[in-house]
Amino acid sequence: MPRTLRITTRNATFQQWQALLGNRNKRHQAGEFLVQGVRPVSLAVEHGWEIRALLTSDAPGMSKWARELIETSGAPRVLLAADLMAELGEKDDETPELLAVVGMPADDPTRISVRPKLLVVVFDRPTTPGNVGTLIRSADAFGAAGVIVTGHAADPYDPRAVRASTGSLFALPVVRLPSHREVVAWAGALGVPVQIVGTDERGPVDIAEHDLTGPTVLAVGNETHGLSTAWREACDQMVRIPITGAASSLNAASAATVALYEAARQRRPG
C-alpha cells in the first residue's frame, strides 16, 4: 500500500492544493493541477499520467473503485478531513470520495502522434475554460490526434476545463503554444503534406465541399473575434458551417464539434 499522510487543518499543503483550483499561476509554477470526478481521475491513472497524490476523505467507508485506484496507482495517499475534501471538491451537495493531484506534461507538439490521416484541432485564444474542455471532449470523440491551444488563452488545466472534458484531457495530447508560428513550423516539419483549414462564418467554401480526408490542422477561433488575422493568413483554406434561423453564429466549441464530425464523416470507410 502507498504511504498515507493525514491533514485535518488548512495547513500550507492544503492551501497549496486549494490555490490550484483558482490560481493559474500557482498551477503552472507547481506544474500540477487538481482533478475532480470519478471518470477524470480514473482516466488520469489509466493513461499513465503522473499522479502526485490521491486525496481521500477521512469519512468511514470506501468504495471498491477508490480502494482499487489507490492500490494500483502507487501514488501517495492523503487522508483529509471531510470538510476540507468538500472544499476542494467544489460541490455544495456532496463530498468527493477521491481527488487527484496530477503533474502537467510538457507543452511539446511532438507528443502528438503523426498518423497517415492526421487530424489536429487548434483553438486560438479561447476565453472560456468550459469551451476548451468541450472542444477537447469532441476532439477525442471524433478521432483527432491532439489539441493545440494558441495565444493568450483559457487554461486547459483549469478545473472547469478538466470537468468539461469529462476526462478526455487525459486521453489525447493537449499542447499550449504561443502562436500560429509554432504550429506552422511543427506541421511543416512532419514530413507529410498537412493542410491548415480555418473555420469562419464568412468562409468562401462550405465545409462539406472541402476535402478533409488528408492530414489536416483544423483551426477554430476565439469565441468573440474568431481567428486572428495571422491565423487566417496561415490557413490554406477558410471554410464555413452553413446555419439557419435567428442565430448569428455558433459557439466556438460547437463549431469545432461540427467541423470534427464532418472530418470524421468524410474519413468513414465506404
Place of cell 510538457: 106
Q: Which CATH number fits domain 109-267: 3.40.1280.10, 3.30.9.60, 3.40.50.360, 3.40.50.2300?
A: 3.40.1280.10
CA atoms within 13 A on the CB side of 177: 23
Say if residue 2's pLDDT is above 60.
Answer: no
Q: Where in the chain is the domain with CATH 3.30.1330.30?
A: 4-103
Let me know: does 175 contact 108? Beta carbons within 8 Å: yes
What pLDDT is recorded for position 93? 77
Mean pLDDT of 134-145: 98
Please provide the size of the chain in residues: 270
What pLDDT is recorded for position 253? 92
pLDDT digits 0-9 by tens, 81-104: 989 999 999 887 788 999 999 999
- The closest of 12, 16, 27 to 162, measured between CA atoms, is 27
Q: What is the spatial distance between Cα 116 and Cα 149, in angstroms, rounded to a whole number?
A: 23
Let me know: does 253 contact 129? Beta carbons within 8 Å: no
Angle made by CA atoms 107, 112, 116, in degrees to the nearest 5:
160
Lowest average pLDDT, out of 35-49, 73-87, 111-125, 241-255, goes to 241-255
What pLDDT is recorded for position 134? 97
Say if residue 1's pLDDT is above 50.
Answer: no
The rounded percent of the chain whose pLDDT value lies above 70 is: 97
How confident is the prediction for the chain on average, in pLDDT? 92
What pLDDT is recorded for position 33? 98
Say if residue 4's pLDDT is above 80.
Answer: no
CATH 3.30.1330.30 for the 4-103 domain, yes or no: yes
pLDDT digits 0-9 by tens, 169-225: 999 999 999 999 999 999 999 989 999 999 988 889 999 999 999 999 999 998 888
pLDDT digits 0-9 by tens, 8-50: 788 999 999 999 999 999 999 999 999 999 999 999 999 999 9
What DSSP string describes 193-220?
--EEEEE-TT-SEEGGGS--SSSEEEEE
Q: How many CB atoms lie within 10 A of CB 19?
A: 16
- Confidence tier at 62 by pLDDT (50, 70, 90): confident
What pLDDT is recorded for position 3? 58
